[in-house]
Structure 1
């Protein structure tokens, strides 16, 4: 198996000047994730080993485990980045509107990162979510992680709004459902429509959810 070629610098590098060591750290993470995703596409999750991923990325298995706990987490790197972008705006929720509207506005702002469907960030998100649709193992990892994500959303909303627990829970659950529907629709649509746009799809999903 040949080593993967050098990838573009990750679009989710931390803002501001970075030293060579930090840039290389992020680049290595990208390369390991790329190797995992490529091998999963070729062989499937079950047939791929951590050793094969490490070899394809040009690193040792020891180095692999410095970055990712499992092979599944390595392939999901860009989905985790998507969720981190979504979560980044939770401390700025607008308390002047309803919890659901505040969450939706926050999500919409975060999705501008993916306005250009041809960008590296968008293409990586599409690729990993196509693999998620095919692989139950990856969906199981995300399902387990969703418990913590939902709890974090509930906590963030509770700190900003004086509402009943039921209202907050509904706001979170409905907002997540609309976001998930938009993401899945965008992923499916992009297979036949290169102009498919995630922020626009989300805007449409929000409108339909109120009908």
Structure 2
């Protein structure tokens, strides 16, 4: 079942303290990206990132648990929307189409964000593609997030679907999203500023062809 547009609660406007913390996080992320690009993630220390960002190491750790987290974290807003959707539908309506719609909504949100946000995302994705240390950390982060989402979906469909259903559902939707991100970065590297959402839709169709053996 596809989640209806606008089915989630509107975003709460952050107060001044939250806005300052968000800006500090952005400064730390920019610093980490710059250092990772210059010398690699493995060779970069938290102290170096904090120094370039103009904050103390303790401030860094109030914002991020690790240096890798400062450039790559799971999409918590997507997870919140997934939880809201699962709460709003019966177990029988938890399907691939619904989860794919949530992923597409998250990508639409990214593409509608500021140029600065998209630039940081692109730089992080480039690093994940080229830096072995950061790629391993990103894969681990994704795996933990996928496990968390799978457990949530499995609990929702428990009694009518086996645990394998939830895992296949989440993995199938997730792999299309990750593949679309990779294709988006590859295209930009080749001079094609493609739309991530359209790339995701095309990737999703290709996945369906593979799964079903026919054009969709």
Flag whether TM exceeds 0.5 (same fold).
Answer: yes
Partner of 1:119: 115
Query: For residues 109 and 189 of structure 1, do their structure 2 counterparts lie closer, same or farther at Cα, with a shift above 3 Å needed?
Result: same
Say which of 179, 182, 195 aligns to 1:181: 179
Matching of residue 170 in structure 1 with residue 141 in structure 2? no
**Partner SS, residue 196 of structure 1:** coil
Aligned-partner Cα distance in 1 for 2:78–2:48: 32
Say which of 108, 133, 140 aligns to 2:129: 133
Give the CA deviation at 1:64.
1.7
Matching of residue 89 in structure 1 with residue 81 in structure 2? yes
Query: RMSD of the TM alignment (CA)?
Result: 2.3
Matching of residue 40 in structure 1 with residue 10 in structure 2? no
Query: For residues 144 and 195 of structure 1, do their structure 2 counterparts lie closer, same or farther at Cα, with a shift above 3 Å needed?
Result: closer
Deviation by residue 1:20-45 (Cα, 9 ceiling, x = unmatched): 32211111111011101111111212
Partner of 2:207: 209
Query: For residues 17 and 172 of structure 1, do their structure 2 counterparts lie closer, same or farther at Cα, with a shift above 3 Å needed?
Result: closer
**Structure 1, unaligned runs of 5 or more:** 1-13
Partner of 1:60: 56
TM-score (structure 2 length as normaliser): 0.79
Deviation by residue 1:37-93 (Cα, 9 ceiling, x = unmatched): 1111112123322222111111122222222222222232xxx26x22332321214
Query: For residues 157 and 32 of structure 1, do their structure 2 counterparts lie closer, same or farther at Cα, with a shift above 3 Å needed?
Result: same
Aligned residues, how many?
194
TM-score (structure 1 length as normaliser): 0.81
Aligned-partner Cα distance in 2 for 1:23–1:101: 35
Query: For residues 84 and 16 of structure 1, do their structure 2 counterparts lie closer, same or farther at Cα, with a shift above 3 Å needed?
Result: closer
